[in-house]
Amino acid sequence: MSRAGALAVWVALLAGCAAMLPPQAEAPAIYLLDTRPAERPARPQRGLVLLVSIPQARAGYDTDQMAYVREPYGLEYFTKSRWADAPSRMLAPLLVQTLEQAGGFRTVVQAPSTVPADLRLDTELVRLQQDFGARPSRVELAVRAQLVDLRSRQVLATAEFEEVEMTQRDDAYGGVIAANRALQRMLARLADFCAEQSAGR
């Protein structure tokens, strides 16, 4: 067999082997929750230290998978798009940054921390999903917050905050943009909640 013929056979064998390999999975697109409210005048500082505990998440949302619904009670996940981390874990530093920016506290610290604190903010991600039951789709975000006085061990206040943001495009990235817009408003409301409920203490 000539050298050219042997080379052709070798190339054909390699091509055949490559065809037998399983197709490589396409890497998912990775997205962030990364927003803060627009800057507002800082509140007068009080001598309180606020501890922000690690946010929790309800069943179905404690994952980096991006959730969506097409019908009531039916939770599904995008296969080609994911969050960079579970949204509840991405929420913690955003809460700290927002509360620091808003003022009103001597210090805001994130759990775990050895700094003695006066108040603790507990949060739970109740819902973060893109609803395709209507057109255009919309993102629904709900967070439950509880402010605790660590000195008296009493719950000062509990509230649930909900935000809905319509998407500009019916795909995962459209949901990411809408989620960050909804989160921006919610963080501002959470900062107001902490300031109002801790006033006078």
pLDDT tens digit string along 39-81?
A: 777 777 788 999 999 999 999 999 999 999 999 999 999 999 9
Q: Any idea of the CA torsion for 114, 96, 39, 173, to the nearest 10 degrees?
A: 160
pTM over cut 0.75: yes
Distance CA 78, CA 171 (A): 9
CA distance 149 to 50: 10
How many Cβ atoms sit within 10 Å of the Cβ of residue 77?
Answer: 14
Split into its structural domains, the chain has a count of 1
* Dihedral, CA of residue 50, residue 184, residue 129 and residue 52, to nearest 10: -10
Contact 72, 131 (CB under 8 A): no
CA neighbor of 188 nearest in space, from 31, 35, 32: 35
At residue 168 the predicted structure's pLDDT band, cuts being 50, 70 and 90, is very high
C-alpha distances in angstroms, 167 versus 134, 161, 162? 11, 20, 16
Tally helices (H) and strands (E) across the chain: 3, 9
Query: Whole domain around residue 178: which residue ranges?
Result: 3-198
Please say if the pLDDT value at position 199 is more than 90.
Answer: no
Which pLDDT value is given to residue 64?
97
- Domain with 125 in it: what CATH number? 3.40.50.10610
Dihedral angle at the C-alpha atoms of 86, 89, 91, 95, nearest 10 degrees?
180
